Amino acid sequence: MATSVLIVDDHARFRRSARRLLELEGYEVVGEAPDGTAGLAAAAELRPDVVLLDVNLPDLSGFEVSERLRGTGPLVVLTSDRDPSEIAPFAEDAGACGFVPKGSLSGAALARLLG
Protein backbone atom coordinates (compact mmCIF):
# COMPACT_ATOMS: atom_id res chain seq x y z
CA MET A 1 0.00 0.00 0.00
CA ALA A 2 1.39 3.41 -1.00
CA THR A 3 2.06 6.13 1.55
CA SER A 4 -0.71 8.73 1.30
CA VAL A 5 0.23 12.42 1.17
CA LEU A 6 -1.66 15.69 1.57
CA ILE A 7 0.11 18.71 0.02
CA VAL A 8 -0.53 22.06 1.73
CA ASP A 9 0.96 25.01 -0.16
CA ASP A 10 -0.42 28.34 -1.37
CA HIS A 11 1.27 28.05 -4.78
CA ALA A 12 -0.81 25.96 -7.17
CA ARG A 13 2.19 25.40 -9.46
CA PHE A 14 4.20 23.86 -6.62
CA ARG A 15 1.25 21.65 -5.59
CA ARG A 16 0.92 20.36 -9.17
CA SER A 17 4.64 19.66 -9.59
CA ALA A 18 4.95 18.06 -6.13
CA ARG A 19 1.91 15.87 -6.89
CA ARG A 20 3.39 14.67 -10.19
CA LEU A 21 6.81 14.03 -8.69
CA LEU A 22 5.52 12.13 -5.66
CA GLU A 23 3.03 10.07 -7.67
CA LEU A 24 5.77 9.07 -10.11
CA GLU A 25 7.82 7.90 -7.12
CA GLY A 26 5.04 5.70 -5.73
CA TYR A 27 3.26 7.97 -3.25
CA GLU A 28 -0.51 8.41 -3.30
CA VAL A 29 -1.41 12.10 -3.18
CA VAL A 30 -4.88 12.13 -1.63
CA GLY A 31 -5.43 15.87 -1.63
CA GLU A 32 -4.17 19.42 -1.82
CA ALA A 33 -4.93 22.54 0.17
CA PRO A 34 -4.00 26.20 -0.48
CA ASP A 35 -3.76 27.38 3.13
CA GLY A 36 -3.47 26.21 6.72
CA THR A 37 -7.17 26.25 7.55
CA ALA A 38 -8.04 24.16 4.50
CA GLY A 39 -5.06 21.92 5.23
CA LEU A 40 -6.28 21.17 8.76
CA ALA A 41 -9.76 20.37 7.44
CA ALA A 42 -8.36 18.17 4.65
CA ALA A 43 -6.09 16.31 7.08
CA ALA A 44 -9.07 15.56 9.34
CA GLU A 45 -11.20 14.39 6.41
CA LEU A 46 -8.63 12.52 4.30
CA ARG A 47 -6.49 11.03 7.12
CA PRO A 48 -3.21 11.01 5.11
CA ASP A 49 -0.08 9.28 6.33
CA VAL A 50 1.97 12.41 5.61
CA VAL A 51 1.26 16.14 5.30
CA LEU A 52 3.77 18.00 3.12
CA LEU A 53 3.39 21.45 4.61
CA ASP A 54 4.70 24.80 3.38
CA VAL A 55 6.06 27.00 6.16
CA ASN A 56 4.75 30.24 4.60
CA LEU A 57 0.98 30.08 4.23
CA PRO A 58 -1.38 33.05 3.85
CA ASP A 59 -3.46 32.42 6.99
CA LEU A 60 -1.52 30.29 9.50
CA SER A 61 2.18 29.52 9.57
CA GLY A 62 3.21 26.00 8.71
CA PHE A 63 4.66 25.77 12.22
CA GLU A 64 1.24 26.52 13.73
CA VAL A 65 -0.49 24.00 11.46
CA SER A 66 2.12 21.38 12.36
CA GLU A 67 1.57 22.00 16.07
CA ARG A 68 -2.20 21.60 15.62
CA LEU A 69 -1.68 18.32 13.75
CA ARG A 70 0.60 16.93 16.46
CA GLY A 71 -0.88 13.73 17.84
CA THR A 72 -3.72 13.55 15.29
CA GLY A 73 -2.15 10.90 13.07
CA PRO A 74 -0.24 12.23 10.07
CA LEU A 75 3.47 12.79 10.04
CA VAL A 76 4.35 16.34 9.01
CA VAL A 77 7.18 17.29 6.70
CA LEU A 78 7.79 21.03 6.45
CA THR A 79 8.95 22.56 3.18
CA SER A 80 9.98 26.02 2.01
CA ASP A 81 12.10 27.95 -0.45
CA ARG A 82 13.79 29.67 2.48
CA ASP A 83 17.26 28.79 3.69
CA PRO A 84 17.11 25.40 5.45
CA SER A 85 19.12 26.76 8.38
CA GLU A 86 16.20 29.13 9.10
CA ILE A 87 13.61 26.33 9.19
CA ALA A 88 15.10 22.92 9.96
CA PRO A 89 16.12 23.65 13.57
CA PHE A 90 12.51 24.50 14.45
CA ALA A 91 10.75 21.67 12.61
CA GLU A 92 10.89 19.18 15.47
CA ASP A 93 9.73 21.77 18.02
CA ALA A 94 6.62 22.27 15.87
CA GLY A 95 5.90 18.54 15.83
CA ALA A 96 7.21 17.88 12.32
CA CYS A 97 9.39 14.86 11.56
CA GLY A 98 11.65 17.03 9.43
CA PHE A 99 12.20 19.59 6.72
CA VAL A 100 12.93 19.29 3.01
CA PRO A 101 13.68 22.32 0.81
CA LYS A 102 11.23 22.64 -2.07
CA GLY A 103 14.08 22.38 -4.57
CA SER A 104 15.19 19.08 -3.03
CA LEU A 105 11.78 17.43 -2.80
CA SER A 106 11.82 13.79 -3.92
CA GLY A 107 10.36 10.50 -2.88
CA ALA A 108 13.76 9.51 -1.51
CA ALA A 109 14.00 12.70 0.58
CA LEU A 110 10.59 11.99 2.09
CA ALA A 111 11.49 8.36 2.72
CA ARG A 112 14.63 9.39 4.62
CA LEU A 113 12.58 11.67 6.91
CA LEU A 114 9.81 9.14 7.42
CA GLY A 115 12.29 6.45 8.40
DSSP string covering 21-70, please?
HHHHTT-EEEEEESSHHHHHHHHHHH--SEEEEES--SSS-HHHHHHHHT
Model pTM score: 0.95
User: Domain 4-114 sits in which CATH superfamily?
Assistant: Response regulator (3.40.50.2300)
Per-residue pLDDT, 5: 98
pLDDT in tens, 2-59: 899 999 999 999 999 999 999 999 999 999 999 999 999 999 999 999 999 999 999 9
Is the pLDDT score of 1 beyond 80? no
Per-residue pLDDT, 38: 98
How many other CB atoms sit within 10 Å of the CB of residue 79? 29
Per-residue pLDDT, 86: 82
Per-residue pLDDT, 88: 78
How many other CB atoms sit within 10 Å of the CB of residue 32? 20
Per-residue pLDDT, 102: 96
Identity at 67, one-letter amino acid code: E
pLDDT in tens, 50-94: 999 999 999 999 999 999 999 898 999 999 998 888 887 888 899
